[in-house]
Amino acid sequence: MESKKNSKKDLNRKRTLFLQIGLVMSLTIVFVAFEWKTYEIQENILSGINSIQIDQEIVQVTQQEQPEPPKAPQVTTILEVIDGDEIIQDEINISIEDRPDQAAQTYVPVSIEEAPEPVAEEIFTFVEEYPEFLGGEKALYEYIKNNVNYSELAIKTNIEGTVYVEFVVEKDGSISDVKVLRGIGGGCDEEAVRVVKSMPKWKPGKQRGQPVRVYYTLPIDFKIK
């Protein structure tokens, strides 16, 4: 009977020991598992921080600095040191013409001359030689007689009289500036102007042997027959 009790006690002790060993191993595994997860989280956090820092460094590197504007050429001096205390200064003059990108500018004064206003030549009233119709005065009145047309209005209203026409005989004998000094109406004034303008060139008037412009007054008679 005593030997059986002892074997039971031994089994109970071993069972208790196995339970304790199993419990310790379970706790150890659980502890290791917690430690391993914490390490992975820390590793992930650290890797995320490192990636953020690297991205910031890349952004800083890609920034471009604005180039400085080119500086104007300056006159520089070169100092050449020779044996002793003597210093020789060689001056180098840099001119704008030496630079292909800068063209030399030369100021050239420009004077604008205004064209002189045309001066009207004098028109004479009294001259040494008066202008003359080719063929003389008789030919002049014959021309007027053959070319004047009496207006119907003047005939119906029985208008008669003398129309005084003034014009200028130019230096070449042509007729210009025809106007009526005194008219009689009824269409006679317009007819007198038309006939004078249709006349051929005259012999120009002269002053001191040179052709000049001369005023001429011509009376034209209108009579009903």
Q: What pLDDT digit, counting tens, does each position of 157-174 carry?
A: 999 999 999 999 999 999
Residue 214: inside a domain: yes
pLDDT of residue 30: 76
146 vs 103: which has the higher pLDDT: 146
∠ CA 38-41-47 to the nearest 5 degrees?
140
Q: How many helices (H) and strands (E) would you count in the chain?
A: 4, 7
Q: Confidence class of residue 105 from pLDDT cuts 50, 70 and 90?
A: low
| Segment 199-223 mean pLDDT | 95
Q: Confidence class of residue 31 from pLDDT cuts 50, 70 and 90?
A: confident
Residues in the chain: 225
Residue 191: inside a domain: yes
How far, in whole angstroms, is CA 52 from its chain's centroid?
Answer: 55
Domains in the chain, number = 2
Mean pLDDT, the chain, rounded, equals 75
**Are 217 and 129 members of one domain?**
yes
44 vs 218: which has the higher pLDDT: 218
* Long-range contacts of 131-137, Cβ-Cβ distance < 8 Å, separation of 24 or more: 131/169, 131/173, 131/202, 131/203, 131/204, 131/205, 131/214, 131/216, 132/202, 132/203, 133/199, 133/202, 133/203, 134/200, 134/201, 134/202, 134/203
pLDDT of residue 28: 78
Residue 209: inside a domain: yes
∠ CA 5-10-15 to the nearest 5 degrees?
125
Residue 204: inside a domain: yes
**Are 46 and 128 members of one domain?**
no
pLDDT of residue 188: 95
Residue 111: inside a domain: no
**Are 131 and 215 members of one domain?**
yes
pLDDT of residue 65: 57
Residue 30: inside a domain: yes
| Segment 135-152 mean pLDDT | 93
Three-state SS for 76?
Answer: strand
**Are 128 and 216 members of one domain?**
yes
pLDDT of residue 24: 79
Which domain range does residue 215 map to? 124-222
Residue 112: inside a domain: no
Residue 189: inside a domain: yes
Q: Which of 208, 135, 121, 209 is nearest to 169 (CA)?
A: 121
CATH number at residue 181: 3.30.2420
